[in-house]
C-alpha cells in the first residue's frame, strides 16, 4: 500500500498504525511517499522482527507519482481510498476477481487530483470522513473476506496463545 502526504512529526503515529494494519491485515508492504521518516520505518521493522514478516516491505522517500505510474505499467491495479469514491459494496467483488496486484493508496491531508485520475478505482468506505487506518482495515477485511484475521507469519519469534483473560505470549514453534 502507498501512504501519501505523511508529515514527519505530526503523522508519525498514524502512519505507523497504517503500516501495522497493512502488515496485520495481509498487505505485502507499506511505501511512504515522497518523504523519509526513519522512526516510522524502524518501528515497523521492529514489529516484523518480533511478530514476523521480515519480507514485509517497509520503504520511505519513494517518488509517489513514479511509483503509481510504474505499478500500472507493470499490470497492477490502483485502488485509492476516498470518501468521495464508489461505495466499497459496489466494487470490492470486481476488484477481487481481477486477481491482479493491488496498490492501495491512502492520504493524510488533501490528496492531489492526479491520484483520483490515475486510480483504477476510487473507493469509499462509506461516505463519511474518518481515517486512513480505518479505511485500510475495512478495505482489506472486505477484500480478504475476513480470512486475514487468522494470519500468522511463519517467521514470527513470538506467538500469542488466545486467553479469555490476561496475556499469554510464547516462543513460536
68 binds ligand SAM (CB under 6 A): no
Closest approach of ligand SAM to the CB of residue 83, in Å: 3
- Cα radius of gyration rounded to whole Å, the chain: 16
Closest approach of ligand SAM to the CB of residue 56, in Å: 21
For ligand SAM, the binding residue among 131, 157, 158, 168 (CB under 6 A) is 131
Residue of 81, 64, 75, 115 lying closest to 98 (CA atoms): 75
Nearer to ligand SAM, 110 or 150 (CB): 110
Strands in the chain per DSSP E: 2-3, 29-33, 57-62, 77-87, 102-106, 121-124, 158-160, 169-171
32 binds ligand SAM (CB under 6 A): no
Closest approach of ligand SAM to the CB of residue 14, in Å: 8
- DSSP-derived 3-state class of residue 65: helix
- Burial readout 116-129 (b: 16 or more C-beta within 10 A, e: otherwise): eebbbbbbbbeeee
For ligand SAM, the binding residue among 27, 47, 111, 119 (CB under 6 A) is 111
30 binds ligand SAM (CB under 6 A): no
Cβ atoms of 28 and 57 closer than 8 Å: yes
DSSP state of 164: S
132 binds ligand SAM (CB under 6 A): yes
For ligand SAM, the binding residue among 126, 147, 152, 158 (CB under 6 A) is 126
Closest approach of ligand SAM to the CB of residue 75, in Å: 23
Q: Cα-flanking dihedrals φ and ψ of residue 35, to 5°?
A: -130, 160
Closest approach of ligand SAM to the CB of residue 110, in Å: 5
92 binds ligand SAM (CB under 6 A): no
Residue of 39, 114, 127, 133 lying closest to 88 (CA atoms): 127
Binding residues (CB under 6 A) for ligand SAM: these are 81-83, 106-111, 124-126, 128-132, 135
Amino acid at each position: 500500500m502507498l501512504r501519501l502526504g505523511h508529515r514527519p512529526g505530526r503523522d508519525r503515529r498514524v502512519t505507523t498504525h497504517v503500516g501495522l494494519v497493512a502488515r496485520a491485515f495481509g498487505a505485502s508492504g507499506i511505501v511512504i511517499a515522497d518523504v523519509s521518516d526513519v522512526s516510522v520505518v524502524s518501528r515497523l521493522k521492529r514489529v516484523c522482527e518480533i511478530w514476523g514478516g521480515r519480507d514485509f516491505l517497509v520503504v520511505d522517500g519513494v517518488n509517489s507519482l513514479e511509483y503509481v505510474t510504474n505499478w500500472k505499467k507493470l499490470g497492477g491495479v490502483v485502488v485509492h481510498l476516498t470518501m468521495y469514491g464508489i461505495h466499497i459494496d459496489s466494487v470490492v467483488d470486481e476488484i477481487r476477481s481481477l486477481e491482479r496486484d493491488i496498490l492501495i493508496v491512502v492520504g493524510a491531508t488533501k490528496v492531489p487530483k492526479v491520484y483520483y485520475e490515475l486510480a483504477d478505482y476510487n473507493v469509499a468506505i462509506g461516505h463519511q470522513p474518518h481515517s486512513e487506518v480505518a479505511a485500510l482495515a475495512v478495505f482489506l477485511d472486505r477484500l480478504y473476506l475476513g480470512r486475514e484475521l487468522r494470519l500468522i507469519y511463519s517467521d514470527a519469534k513470538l506467538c500469542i496463545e488466545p486467553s479469555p483473560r490476561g496475556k499469554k505470549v510464547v516462543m513460536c514453534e
